[in-house]
C-alpha cells in the first residue's frame, strides 16, 4: 500500500517562531548575570557593614552576650504649676465695672470685689477685700446696681459712685471711684474715695495674724494691733477718705437738687451776693418745664480744676423737647480749708435751646430776663391784647408759689408790660390787668395776697424794639414786650 507523501509545515510555523524564543532566553540570561555580578555584591556589602557596626558597638568582653539596654538619662523635674493668674477683667464702660463691683459685694464675694477695686495695684487686692468685708460688718450694704452713677469727668479720669445704705437708715452714702482706661482691661480703678462715715473701715483694718510658736519654743508676745496710721498708710495709694467735698462732687449735688426742683436745698450752695435768686429760680423753672435730666454718658465735666477756682459744665437732655444742651457752673472758695460756693451760672446755652421750643406756641419763653432798669427778673408772656395767662406761665407759677408758701415772710413784686400798639391809657390798664392775673393765680395756688405787690407800666420799659431799623413793624420784638416780670425780694 502506498501512503500519500507527508506535507511540509509552512515556514512561518517553525523557522519564524524561533527568533522571539531566543530573544526571551537571552534576556533572562543577561538579567541573571547582572544580578550576580552587581546587585548581589551590593546587598552583601550592606549586610557586612551592618554586622561590623553591631560588632563594634558590642562589649569587647561579652561580644556574644546581648547588649544591655542603655541607662535612660535622668528625668528633669516637672515644671512648677503656674501661679493662678489675676482675673482678666475687660470693661467697655465705666458703669460696667461699678455694677460688677456691686454684684460681687451683694453676694459677699469680697475676694473678687477686692481684685476689681485693686486691679491697678494687685498687691492691694487682699487689703481691698478686707476693707469691703469690714464695711459689711459695720452694717453697710450695697444698694441696687442700677443706682451706680457716672458722676462726670475730672482731668483724665471718669468718676463713678457706688451707693451704700446703712442698716436701719434710709440715707445713701457713696464711695467715689476715679477710673482710667487700660489697654488690657478697658477701665480700671485708679483711686477710691470713702466718705467720712466709712473712715473707720480703714482705721479698723485687722493686722496680719501672728504666727503661732513651734512646740517647745517660748511664746512670743503678739504684736500690738495695727494703728490707724499704719493701716491708712498701707491703703493710701488706692483708698483715701474725703477731706471735704471736691468741686465735681459739689457741683453734682447742686445740679441734682435743681433737677428735683428743690430750690431751697440748691440755694444753700450759692453765694447770694454773686448769683441773683431770680436766676436760680429761673433755672428750676426750666428744669421743671423741660423735664431735663443729666446726660448719662457725660453728665458733668470739670474744665478748670484749681484749688480755689473751678468751672464745671453740666450737660442735660430733655426727651420731651428732644434737646441736648448745657450750662456752666463757676465755683470758688477762699482757701482749700473753706467750702465751695457757686458764684456764677452761665445759662446762655440752655435758655437759648429752651426758648426755641416756645416759638411754635406763639409766645416767647425765656424765664429769666435782664430788666431794663437793671438786675434780672422772671418773665411770663402774653398773647397780643390779652391778659389771660398762657398755659406755660401756669407751670412757672407753680414753682414760684411753692417757694412763697414755704416762707410767709417772702415777698414779690409783679410788673405788667405791653408793646407800643394802642393808646397809653389803654396799655396802662392792660399791663395792670396782666400783673393782676399773675397775682390771682398765685392766690389760687395758696400764696397770701399780702405777699404780692402789683403795678402796670404799659409800654414804658420794652425788652426789645417794637420796630425794625427801617421803621417797619417788628412782630417778634413786640412779642417780647407783652409780659409780666416777677421780682423776688428775698
Pair type for strands 186-194 and 172-182 = antiparallel
* Residue whose C-alpha cell reads 479720669 in the numeric block: 157
> In this structure, is residue 48 part of a structural domain?
no
Contact (CB, 8 A) for 415 and 435 = yes
**Checking phi first, is residue 98 left (phi over 0); if not, alpha (psi -120 to 50) or beta?**
alpha
Cell numbers at 253, concatenated: 449735688
Contact (CB, 8 A) for 482 and 421 = no
* pLDDT at residue number 396: 80
pLDDT score of 123 more than 50: yes
What average pLDDT score do residues 372-389 get?
85
* pLDDT at residue number 159: 94
Mean residue pLDDT of the chain comes to: 79
> In this structure, is residue 291 part of a structural domain?
yes
Cα separation, 202 vs 280, whole angstroms: 40
DSSP 51-106: HHHHHHHS-SS-SSSPPPPPPPPPPPPPPPPPPPPPP----SSHHHHHHHHHHHHH
Domain boundary among 322, 357, 392: 357
Q: Give the count of domains, the chain.
A: 3
Check whether residue 158 and residue 276 sit in a common domain. no
Cα separation, 188 vs 352, whole angstroms: 38
> In this structure, is residue 296 part of a structural domain?
yes
CB half-sphere exposure, 381, CA atoms < 13 A:
24
pLDDT digits over 127-161, tens only? 999 999 999 999 999 999 999 999 999 888 999 99
Using pLDDT thresholds of 50, 70 and 90, give the confidence band for residue 47: low
Give the highest mean pLDDT range of 169-173, 210-214, 461-465: 461-465
Check whether residue 375 and residue 467 sit in a common domain. yes
Check whether residue 353 and residue 363 sit in a common domain. no
Give the highest mean pLDDT range of 204-218, 221-235, 409-423: 409-423
Check whether residue 286 and residue 267 sit in a common domain. yes
Contact (CB, 8 A) for 182 and 188 = yes
CB half-sphere exposure, 120, CA atoms < 13 A:
17
Range of the domain at 187: 94-206+228-241
pLDDT score of 86 more than 80: no
* pLDDT at residue number 42: 59
Give the SS3 label for residue 304: strand
Cα separation, 268 vs 193, whole angstroms: 24
Neighbours of 178 (CB within 10 A): 19
Pair type for strands 149-154 and 376-381 = unpaired
> In this structure, is residue 160 part of a structural domain?
yes
Residues 6 or more apart whose Cβ sits within 8 Å of residue 288: 261, 395, 398, 399
**Checking phi first, is residue 196 left (phi over 0); if not, alpha (psi -120 to 50) or beta?**
alpha
* pLDDT at residue number 120: 61
Cα separation, 214 vs 206, whole angstroms: 24
pLDDT digits over 327-355, tens only? 999 999 998 888 999 999 998 888 888 77
Check whether residue 343 and residue 430 sit in a common domain. no
pLDDT digits over 183-209, tens only? 877 899 999 999 988 988 886 554 444
Report field, pTM of the whole predicted structure over 0.85: no
Using pLDDT thresholds of 50, 70 and 90, give the confidence band for residue 212: very low
Burial pattern 81-118, b for ≥16 Cβ within 10 A else e, equals eeeeeeeebebeebbbbbbbbbebbeeeebbbbbbbbb
Cell numbers at 334, concatenated: 477762699
Higher pLDDT, 437 or 185: 437
> In this structure, is residue 119 part of a structural domain?
yes
Using pLDDT thresholds of 50, 70 and 90, give the confidence band for residue 18: low
Cell numbers at 446, concatenated: 395758696
> In this structure, is residue 12 part of a structural domain?
no
* pLDDT at residue number 89: 74
Higher pLDDT, 367 or 490: 367
Report how far apart the first and last C-alpha atoms of the chain are (Å, whole number). 174
Check whether residue 346 and residue 451 sit in a common domain. no
> In this structure, is residue 74 part of a structural domain?
no
Cell numbers at 97, concatenated: 465695672
Check whether residue 337 and residue 382 sit in a common domain. no
Check whether residue 328 and residue 383 sit in a common domain. no
Domain boundary among 357, 391, 415: 357
CATH code (residue 158): 3.10.450
* Residue whose C-alpha cell reads 487700660 in the numeric block: 182
* pLDDT at residue number 407: 78
Domain boundary among 328, 357, 386: 357
Check whether residue 371 and residue 485 sit in a common domain. yes
CA distances from 290 to 320, 323, 353, 368, 422 (A): 7, 9, 10, 15, 35
> In this structure, is residue 374 part of a structural domain?
yes
Nearest to 379 by CA among 266, 467, 261, 487: 487
Check whether residue 384 and residue 487 sit in a common domain. yes
pLDDT score of 231 more than 60: no
Check whether residue 335 and residue 393 sit in a common domain. no
Burial of 298: CB neighbours in 10 Å, binned 0-12, 13-18, 19+: middle
Pair type for strands 239-241 and 186-194 = parallel
Contact (CB, 8 A) for 285 and 378 = yes
Cα separation, 203 vs 191, whole angstroms: 18
CA distances from 258 to 41, 140, 271, 294, 365 (A): 109, 28, 16, 11, 19
pLDDT score of 232 more than 90: no
Pair type for strands 452-456 and 412-416 = parallel
Give the SS3 label for residue 315: strand
Check whether residue 107 and residue 236 sit in a common domain. yes
Using pLDDT thresholds of 50, 70 and 90, give the confidence band for residue 367: confident
CA distances from 319 to 258, 283, 291, 295, 324 (A): 17, 18, 8, 11, 9
Cα separation, 174 vs 197, whole angstroms: 10
CATH code (residue 490): 3.30.1330.60
Amino acid at each position: 500500500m502506498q501512503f500519500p507523501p507527508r506535507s511540509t509545515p509552512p515556514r512561518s510555523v517553525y523557522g519564524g517562531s524561533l527568533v522571539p524564543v531566543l530573544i526571551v532566553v537571552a534576556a533572562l540570561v543577561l538579567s541573571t548575570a547582572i544580578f550576580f555580578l552587581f546587585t548581589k555584591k551590593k546587598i552583601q556589602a550592606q549586610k557586612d557593614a551592618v554586622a561590623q557596626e553591631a560588632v563594634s558597638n558590642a562589649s569587647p568582653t561579652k561580644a556574644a552576650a546581648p547588649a544591655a539596654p542603655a541607662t535612660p538619662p535622668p528625668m528633669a523635674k516637672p515644671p512648677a504649676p503656674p501661679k493662678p493668674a489675676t482675673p482678666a477683667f475687660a470693661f467697655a464702660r465705666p458703669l460696667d465695672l461699678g455694677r460688677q463691683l456691686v454684684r460681687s459685694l451683694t453676694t459677699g464675694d469680697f475676694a473678687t470685689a477686692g481684685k476689681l477695686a485693686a486691679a491697678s495695684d494687685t498687691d492691694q487686692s487682699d487689703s481691698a477685700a478686707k476693707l469691703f468685708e469690714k464695711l459689711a460688718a459695720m452694717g453697710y450694704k450695697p444698694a441696687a446696681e442700677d443706682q451706680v452713677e457716672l458722676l462726670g469727668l475730672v482731668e483724665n479720669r471718669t468718676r463713678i459712685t457706688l451707693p451704700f445704705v446703712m442698716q436701719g437708715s434710709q440715707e445713701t452714702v457713696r464711695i467715689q471711684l476715679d477710673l482710667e482706661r487700660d489697654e488690657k482691661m478697658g477701665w480700671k480703678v485708679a483711686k477710691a474715695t470713702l466718705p467720712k462715715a466709712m473712715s473707720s473701715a480703714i482705721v479698723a483694718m485687722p493686722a496680719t495674724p501672728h504666727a503661732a510658736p513651734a512646740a517647745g519654743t517660748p511664746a512670743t508676745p503678739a504684736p500690738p494691733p495695727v494703728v490707724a496710721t499704719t493701716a491708712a498708710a498701707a491703703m493710701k495709694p488706692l483708698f483715701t477718705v474725703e477731706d471735704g467735698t471736691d468741686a465735681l462732687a459739689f457741683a453734682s449735688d447742686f445740679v441734682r437738687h435743681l433737677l428735683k426742683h428743690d430750690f431751697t436745698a440748691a440755694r444753700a450752695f450759692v453765694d447770694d451776693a454773686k448769683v441773683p435768686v431770680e436766676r436760680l429760680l429761673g433755672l428750676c423753672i426750666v428744669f421743671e418745664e423741660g423735664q431735663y435730666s443729666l446726660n448719662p454718658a457725660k453728665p458733668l465735666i470739670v474744665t478748670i480744676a484749681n484749688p480755689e477756682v473751678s468751672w464745671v459744665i453740666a450737660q442735660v437732655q430733655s426727651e420731651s423737647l428732644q434737646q441736648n444742651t448745657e450750662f456752666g457752673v463757676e465755683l470758688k472758695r477762699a482757701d482749700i480749708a473753706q467750702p465751695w460756693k457757686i458764684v456764677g451760672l452761665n445759662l446762655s446755652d440752655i435758655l437759648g435751646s429752651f426758648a426755641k421750643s416756645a416759638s411754635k406756641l406763639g409766645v416767647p419763653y425765656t424765664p429769666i430776663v435782664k430788666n431794663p432798669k437793671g438786675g434780672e427778673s422772671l418773665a411770663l408772656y402774653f398773647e397780643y391784647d390779652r391778659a389771660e395767662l398762657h398755659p406755660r406761665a401756669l407751670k412757672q407759677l407753680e414753682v414760684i408759689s411753692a417757694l412763697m408758701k414755704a416762707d410767709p415772710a417772702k415777698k414779690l413784686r409783679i410788673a405788667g408790660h405791653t408793646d407800643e400798639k394802642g393808646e397809653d391809657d389803654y396799655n396802662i390798664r392792660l399791663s395792670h390787668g396782666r400783673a393782676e392775673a399773675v397775682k390771682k393765680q398765685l392766690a389760687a395756688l395758696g400764696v397770701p395776697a399780702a405777699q404780692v405787690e402789683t403795678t402796670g407800666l404799659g409800654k414804658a420799659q420794652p425788652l426789645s424794639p417794637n420796630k425794625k431799623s427801617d421803621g417797619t413793624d417788628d412782630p417778634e420784638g413786640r412779642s417780647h414786650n407783652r409780659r409780666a416780670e416777677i421780682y423776688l425780694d428775698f
